[in-house]
Amino acid sequence: MTTYLSWNCRGIRFKLHDIRTILNNFHPACFCLQETLTSNIPLKLRGYNCVRKDTDTGSRSCGGVCILTSNLYSSTPLTLHTTLQAVAVQVHTRALVTVFCIYLPPHDAINQQQLNNLVDQLPKPFLLLGDFNGHNTLWGSDSTNSRGRQIEQFISNNCLCLLNNDEKTYFHEPTRSFHSLDLAICSPDLLPLLKANSREIWKKISWNVLKLKM
């Protein structure tokens, strides 16, 4: 089976050891990272190619996304026409799949048309992994906020499939509380390639990494 991982690493500067450990433990075909937080730290990891989009705000780096793709599989970066923090690659594992990584900052307004335009640019079948920063009981939150309703509408409007179960994906240190912010979404034609019981494909490990197998 092929493994896909997603993690909001909150800065690669001090997480390179963790990233290497995760790669060595799980050998994913793709590892999507959000909030890389830097544009001046090279990310060269043996056996993996890197496609990234860094975001700078003045003298301080923030946000940023990256996809690490295993050299064991042929892959091609895709050019996305968007201002959103997003990158995508096509990777040939058991089939040719588009893997898309996105980070939506919590205080930025969501533009539904921008998200729809991104989906239109993705060759099918595709897998969307990322930190959407929205709360919705549909994916295990205790309540639903406006961002969560917008994301739910985006999924519905584009006839996409949500793969999350009710497991929490993020631990908020100041409040010592768990939340569901990281989502996995796919095009319907990818579902036959996934494990039969999609509600059990997600595993939460010590780094709060989301794991998907197909």
Instruction: Quick: pLDDT tens for 132-155.
Output: 988 888 887 888 999 999 999 999
What fold does the segment set 4-196 form as a domain? Deoxyribonuclease I; Chain A (3.60.10)
pLDDT of residue 196: 34
pLDDT of residue 198: 34
Burial 83-116 (b: 16+ CB within 10 A, else e): ebbbbbbbbebeeebbbbbbbbeeeeebeeeebe
**How much is the average pLDDT of 160-177?**
67
Residue 214 pLDDT greater than 90, yes or no: no
Instruction: Give the model confidence (pLDDT) of 41-72 as tens digits.
Output: 778 899 999 999 987 654 455 689 999 999 99
Torsion sign (Cα): 104, 168, 163, 157: negative
pLDDT of residue 200: 38
Residue 202 pLDDT greater than 50, yes or no: no
202: nearest Cα among 184, 180, 189, 186: 184
pLDDT of residue 207: 58
For the chain, which residues make up each domain, given as ranges?
Answer: 4-196
**How much is the average pLDDT of 112-138?**
92
Orientation of helix 112-121 relative to helix 146-157, angle to 10°: 40
Instruction: Give the model confidence (pLDDT) of 87-101 as tens digits.
Output: 999 999 888 999 999
Top mean pLDDT of 10-19, 20-29, 176-185 is at 20-29
At 137, list the tokens: 């009981």
